Amino acid sequence: MRLIFISFLFFFYTFFAYSEKISLIYTCNLLEDSYEVFIDDDGNVIIFERDYFDLEKRTPKNVTTKTLSEKDIKELKSLILEADIFNLKDEYVIDGNIELIKERSDTLTFVIDGKTKKILCSNANLPISLSKIINKIQDIRKELKYVKEE
């Protein structure tokens, strides 16, 4: 477990966008789909598929790795920089049981030039720029799953 933690910390701190260092972690907690995506500057992607009902998230069902194309790397970096991450809210949540919402919501964590921004997402009223980043990450994952199953 420590090796996995150390490896994604490495990826977390080595994702570069143009002259800026950017790391990205996306955690998706849908009932039918639960996973984490880590992306570094070189386009290395690690995806941990998880069981939604495993609250401790200790054992991934599946671990997939891939390297993105230069085009995908540039597109993702551009979306991140255009979104002006640090001016977005920390939470986009609906009313309700806040503890349950925090436990089961999607999160995006960015580190840009040493500054960290974590965004909790549990509703459909996300800014368009944030939705585009999430869509791009989901497209990367879908493409990766499709390639893996061949």
Question: From residue 134, how far is each of 15, 67, 77, 129, 141 by CA, in Å?
Answer: 17, 18, 13, 9, 11
Residue 150: inside a domain: no
Measured from the Cβ of residue 92, the count of other Cβ atoms closer than 10 Å reads: 18
Q: Does the pLDDT value for residue 15 go beyond 50?
A: no
pTM recorded for the entire structure? 0.74
Structural domain boundaries, residue 54: 2-145
- Mean pLDDT to the nearest integer, 88-100: 73
What distance in Å separates the CA atoms of residue 2 and residue 8, rounded to the nearest whole number?
10
Over the stretch 130-147, which tens digit does the pLDDT of each residue have?
Answer: 999 999 998 988 887 655
Residue 65: inside a domain: yes
Q: Does the pLDDT value for residue 79 go beyond 90?
A: yes
Residue 52: inside a domain: yes
DSSP secondary structure, 40-78, as one string:
-TT-EEEEEEE-TT-TT--S-SEEEEEE--HHHHHHHHH
Residue 22: inside a domain: yes
| Residue 118: predicted pLDDT | 92
What distance in Å separates the CA atoms of residue 6 and residue 77, rounded to the nearest whole number?
23
**Residue type at 137 in one-letter notation:** I
Residue 74: inside a domain: yes
Number of domains in the chain: 1
CATH code, domain carrying 31: 3.30.1560
